[in-house]
Structure 1
Amino acid sequence: MDHEGEGPGGPVTSREQDAVRLLLLIDGACEPLTDADRAVPLLEHAVGVMRTQVKLQKLDFWLRNPDYLANELLTEYESDREQALLDIASRILGSEEPEVRRYPMLRHHFGAYEWLDDALAVLRSAGLLVRRRRGTVNRVRQHDYFLLQEGRRVAREIVSEAPAFDYYVKQVELVLRLAGEKSGSELKKQQYLTREYAETPRGSRIASISEQARRRLASIRQGLQEQGAGKA
């Protein structure tokens, strides 16, 4: 997808772009329904659910910011030394992806945040998604997003008819690999461990860390070379 335009802090997207990206994210990340879910009217055609807006926002942050995604992959690599993680991070940082695929988000009270209601309204009005609120009239505790059969069909059709969108399908797989079984709150804490993210003033767009991540990658590679030389 091409950038729709430039806003303060970087390129911004259109409502339609956000709607497609979120549909592909929810399709890839949704979990199976419970029996209680299936008993709710209007959900008889649901095929999965993404629970909590916090988790949706945190997963979307990594999807929209390949530089932060690559940096997290480097953190995972340093923890378990899985070569595939280093290879994926190297591929991302060795390309223009952190620049041309980056759509910055605002730093909110609860971390990365972007107004998604308009994009989600597109999906809901098209009969692709159902949103349910939990809590009371005065205090909503949680938003759950139920993907409908038609939503899954359209997601598959989009990728089939416009192969360029397969980029997001693959990125969702990487994002989910990083997220594992973590809740939205746990992902929020994880993302706050990156200094540039945590120090962004509230209401400002979270700046790129592509150059920092590239320097980190170079340092890791240098360390590996020195280890190899030491064993020779």
Structure 2
Amino acid sequence: MIGVEEMVVSGGVRRASRWQDAVRLLLLIDTSAKPVPEHLNAPARAVGMVRTQVRLQKLDFWLRYPDYLAFELMNEYEAAPEETGLLDLAEEILSSEEPDLRRFPMLRHRFGAFEELDEALSPLVEKGLVSKDQVLGENRVAEHLYFLLARGREVASHLAQDAPALQWYITRTKLLVAMVDGLGGTQLKNRQYLLKDYADTTIGQHIAPITGQARDRLSRLRAAASTNSKGNS
């Protein structure tokens, strides 16, 4: 469908191609989709659903900023130091070119990282892979709903076979969704705001990478883990 190397540069900012955006969102929706509640008037072919635009935006941010994802893995490790594999995953990200190669900047909006999803989702809707709906409030849209259709699940399951270079997206999407399983969009938004670099970005500006900061933190955590290990031996 696409190659992961595809990208364009606009105004000096590295941008994913339209097809990269579409595939990334398809994988996010496929991996994070939950069963459709029976009371919803869902499309007949719906096999899963992602509730709220905020949740999809926040998941997309971590996929587009691997250094921020590594930072979150280190937060998870500090909360559960026995899970040393979390440090290994953070190191896998930070010791590679991933933070630069896979980063596609997002703008800081009023409520954090934001980018319009309609253009990226339109190929998925047109091809019958995803369907969108809205829950209307009194004066505005109260909630966006994203339905994964049966054809979308089928395409997502074959992506790695058809384009092996996309395996990175599949692996990272599964890691990301497992990390935040059970958290809603507002919880994810609040979690991202805990990092000062993110919160202090001027509205309308692209959120800057934190690769150096994340690597320094990883070194400190590795050193502390080694000291603790020696002290317990």
- What is the TM-score of this pair, normalised by structure 1? 0.94
Given residue 99 of structure 1, which amino acid in structure 2 is its aligned partner? D
Q: Does 2:7 align with 1:12?
A: no
**Counterparts in 2 of 1:57-206, with a 5 A limit?**
57-81=57-81, 82-136=83-137, 138-206=139-207
Distance in 2 separating the partners of 1:209 and 1:21: 22
* 8 Å CA contact retained: 1:9, 1:205: no
- In the alignment of these two chains, the number of paired residues is 229
In structure 1, distance between residues paired with 2:176 and 2:206: 21
For 1:35, what is the secondary structure of its paired residue? coil
Task: Provide the secondary structure at the position in 2 that maps to 1:143.
Answer: strand
CA distance in 1, matches of 2:224, 2:156: 42
Distance 1:21 1:35, change over 3 A: same
Residue 126 (structure 1) shift: 1.1
Amino acid at match of 2:220: S
Query: 1:14, CA displacement in angstroms?
Result: 1.6
Most deviating of 205-214 and 167-176: 167-176
Alpha-carbon distance between aligned partners in 2 of 1:136 and 1:54, rounded to the nearest angstrom: 16
* CA distance 1:8–1:225, change in 2 (3 Å): farther
* Matching of residue 56 in structure 1 with residue 56 in structure 2: yes
Counterpart amino acid of residue 189 in structure 1? N
Q: Is the 2:6–2:20 Cα contact (8 Å) retained in structure 1?
A: no
Question: 2-side partners of 1:226 and 1:153: how far apart?
Answer: 48
- Structure 1 residues 172-181 or 210-219, which shifts more? 172-181
Shift of 1:169: 1.3
Q: Distance in 1 between matches of 2:227 and 2:158?
A: 49
Contact 1:63 1:69 in 2 (8 A): yes
> What one-letter code is carried by the residue in structure 2 that aligns with 1:80?
A
SS of equivalent to 1:147: strand
Q: For 1:154 and 1:221, how far apart are their aligned partners in 2?
A: 40
Per-residue deviation, residues 113-150 of structure 1 (Å, max 9, x unmatched): 11211111111111111101001484101110001111
Structure 1: give runs of 5+ residues left out of the alignment: none
Consecutive unaligned residues in structure 2, runs of 5 or more: none
Q: 1:27-58 CA distances to partner (integer Å, 9 max, x unpaired)?
A: 11100011123xx26x1111000110000000
**What is the TM-score when the length of structure 2 is the normalising length?**
0.93
Task: Determine which of 25, 28, 31 is the counterpart of 1:28.
Answer: 31
In 2: Cα distance, 1:129 partner to 1:231 partner: 52
**Paired-residue identity, %:** 47
